[in-house]
Each structure stands twice: as C-alpha cells, then as structure tokens.
C-alpha cells in the first residue's frame, strides 16, 4: 500500500521556510523580535498606527525579496509529491511568503494571506505589489487614501479559504504537517477535526522538535524538513515506504 493512492492534505508553517532564510515566529530572535504582536499584527494596531504596521511588513517584504531567499529541498519535495500523487492533493500554508509557488506547487492555499498582494478595506479591491507601502497610498479602484493594507490575516481576523479547506479535510486520507508549532487555531485544530471523523487517516508530522500535538500523529519525523521530507518522498516514490 502506498500513500500515493490517497487524498493528501499538507499543512505547512514557518519551519519549512526557515532553511530558506526566513525566521520562524516563535524561535528566539524570530519574526516577532523587537515587536509585540499587538503592535503590528492586529486590525487595532493598523487603526492606531498604520505606518508602524506598514513598516513592519515593508521590512518583511525586503527580506522575502532577497535573491538568496529561495525555495529549499523541502518545498521542492512537495512539488514532487504533488506530481506523483494519484488522487487529490492540497497544500495549505500558514506562511505569507511565496516559496511554495516559486518552487512550483500548484494546488495551494494561503490561509493567512500573502505578502504578494495589497487589499483595500473600503472596496475590497486587491492588487499585486512590489514596493513600499505607506498610509498615503490611494486605492486605484475607489480612490480612497489610507484604506489599503497588506493582504495578510491578522490576529482576531478570519483565516482565508476555510470552506475549501474543511471540504478537503472531509475527504483527507493522509494529513502531513510540516514545520508548524501547532499554536495557532484553526490550523492547529485540523488534526482534531480529522481524528473526529469515522474514517481513519494517516497523520505524519515533520518538525525539528516535538510539538503540543505530536502525540496525535501516526508518526513524527524529527529533523530538518529540507532533509526529512525529500527522504520520505523518495521512499514513497520508490514504493519503499509501506503503510
């Protein structure tokens, strides 16, 4: 038996991008370094001081655009898994970088949004962008200033694509969680949702360390995702990984 004949749901978090040079959120000196979440990642913070929030994301964007920030072997292994999977395949990422799409992944949802786009809170218009944003920016659609923000999901806001995600979770037969600390819901609850279904699924976790949800997984692969994932997918592809 192989996992390739099953519907595969992949959940990724900051850990998959850390070896590409993007810091994770909760590591020491991570993304929140010198920032309180409340000051930069909430709607209230944007209302109080939009340019503090804009600057935080402008700095993130500069990092994401550095030429050395490229997809690593973990991202690439998932492209291969999508290519060889014979049933339905979906990647849901909590990351706002675009390393999965740069690697070549196709069926992908950014549940926490993406730093590739801006969004107008007045008219809902979104645009791709590649420049520094500040609060004087005028929406090209409704012409209102001060309403345009990064298209990322802040604390206290509803994640994106939930309907599509839960629809896929319903039929998920293999759930693979990669590089996430399982601290932020609803993503951290996907495994509980799958476990609450009648049909049994296979649950694999790839992480550097144990997480608060590790005990729930069928198997945990400890180590760098850029190594453990390609090794696993090679075994799967050669039919040497038995389930």
Residues catalogued as catalytic: 112
Under rule CB under 6 A, which residues in 168-187 are in contact with ligand APR? 179-181, 183-184
Q: Which is nearer to ligand APR, 2 or 224 (CB)?
A: 224
Distance separating the N- and C-terminal Cα atoms of the chain:
6
Q: Does 76 bind ligand APR (CB under 6 A)?
A: no
Least Cβ distance, residue 26 to ligand APR (angstroms):
4
Least Cβ distance, residue 45 to ligand APR (angstroms):
14
CA atoms within 13 A on the CB side of 43: 6
The CA distance from 51 to 40, in Å, is 10
Both structure tokens of 140: 């090209």
- Dihedral angle, C-alpha 132, 134, 136, 137, nearest 10 °: 50
Q: Does 13 bind ligand APR (CB under 6 A)?
A: yes
Q: Does 15 bind ligand APR (CB under 6 A)?
A: yes
> Which of the ranges 14-22, 60-68, 77-85, 231-239 carries the binding residues for ligand APR, by CB under 6 A?
14-22
The CA distance from 233 to 220, in Å, is 15
Least Cβ distance, residue 199 to ligand APR (angstroms):
27
b/e sequence 200-226, b meaning 16+ C-beta within 10 Å: ebbbbbbbeeebebeebbeebbeebbb
Q: Does 209 bind ligand APR (CB under 6 A)?
A: yes
- Binding residues for ligand APR, rule: CB under 6 A, are 13-15, 18-19, 24-27, 30, 94, 112, 179-181, 183-184, 206-209, 211, 224-225
């Amino acid at each position: 038996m192989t996992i390739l004949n099953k519907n595969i749901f992949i959940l990724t978090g900051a850990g998959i991008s850390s070896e590409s040079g993007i810091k994770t959120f909760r590591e020491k000196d991570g993304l929140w370094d010198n920032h309180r979440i409340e000051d930069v990642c909430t709607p209230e913070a944007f209302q109080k001081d939009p340019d503090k929030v804009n600057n935080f994301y402008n700095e993130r964007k500069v990092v994401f655009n550095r030429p050395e920030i490229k997809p690593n072997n973990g991202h690439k292994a998932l492209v291969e898994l999508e290519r060889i999977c014979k049933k339905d395949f979906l990647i849901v990422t909590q990351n706002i970088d675009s390393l999965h799409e740069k690697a070549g992944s196709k069926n992908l949802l950014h549940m926490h949004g993406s730093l590739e786009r801006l969004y107008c809170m007045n008219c809902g218009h979104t645009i791709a962008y590649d420049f520094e944003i500040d609060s004087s920016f005028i929406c090209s659609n409704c012409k209102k200033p001060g309403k345009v923000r990064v298209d990322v999901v802040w604390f206290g806001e509803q994640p994106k694509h939930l309907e599509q995600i839960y629809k896929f979770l319903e039929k998920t037969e293999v759930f693979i969680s990669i590089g996430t600390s399982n601290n932020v819901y609803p993503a951290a609850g996907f495994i509980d949702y799958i476990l609450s279904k009648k049909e049994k699924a296979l649950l694999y976790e790839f992480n550097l360390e144990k997480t608060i949800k590790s005990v729930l997984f069928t198997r945990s692969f400890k180590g760098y995702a850029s190594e453990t994932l390609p090794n696993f997918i090679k075994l799967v592809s050669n039919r040497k990984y038995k389930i």
